[in-house]
Amino acid sequence: MENKLKVGLKTLFGTLPNIERYLHFAVLFWVLLQLLSSGLMHVHGDTELNQISDLAFIHIYSGLVLLPVSLIFATKVIMRRKIQDLYPWLSGHYQVIKEDAESLLKLELPEAKPSGLAATIEGLGILALILAVVTGSVWYLTVFTSGPSEWLLSIHKLSVTFIQVYFFGHALFALLHLVQWWRESSTS
């Protein structure tokens, strides 16, 4: 079973270049740690820098380091794919998304393809990731230089909601694709 799981994961991620695969897993675990640590923090809009806990500082500094890693990851993905593949809605191309949505309505997982639903969601996930790390970094720099900013912290927390939705949705669909692969490989 363990060997079959390895083959399944290799099938899911086998088309990615090695550097992108490593960055994908690094960002995945980094974001997971950020989400878990954020649930244990008690930072509010009026929290002064000297009142921030050690755990919150670990979360903050980890997020600051995640910023360049996220930018490198996003750059690698965008260099491999066309902008139109990740953001077809920018140019009004909805046909492939529509076809994929129709497949989902028939309870069929659509194959990942350029300008499709999976690619579009990947593009939105990259935006959510960048938004979360940029807003967190801007909040910290503002608190560090000017003092607390309730407005910036609320924007960061809202942006983290987008990455949470993406993170768990992305994981769910990866799991569904793995289950589909497992079933198909068991019947052949």
What DSSP string describes 12-27?
HHTTS-HHHHHHHHHH
The pLDDT, as a whole number, for residue 34 is 96
Mean of all residue pLDDT scores within the chain: 91
Give 50's DSSP letter: G
CATH 3.40.50 is right for the domain spanning 16-187: no
Q: Please tell me the predicted confidence (pLDDT) of residue 1.
A: 66
Contact (CB, 8 A) for 70 and 27: yes
Cα(98)–Cα(28) distance, integer angstroms: 28
Tens of pLDDT, residue by residue over 46-93, are 888 889 999 999 999 999 999 999 999 999 999 998 899 999 999 999
Phi, psi of 148 (to 5 degrees): -55, 145
Q: Using the predicted structure, report yes or no on whether residue 120 has a pLDDT greater than 80.
A: yes
pLDDT value for 188: 65
Q: Mean pLDDT throughout 144-162?
A: 94
User: Which residue type occupies 46?
Assistant: D
pTM of the entire predicted model? 0.87
For residue 69, give the nearest of 113, 20, 107, 115 by alpha carbon: 20
pLDDT value of residue 3: 82
Q: Is the pLDDT of residue 153 over 90?
A: yes
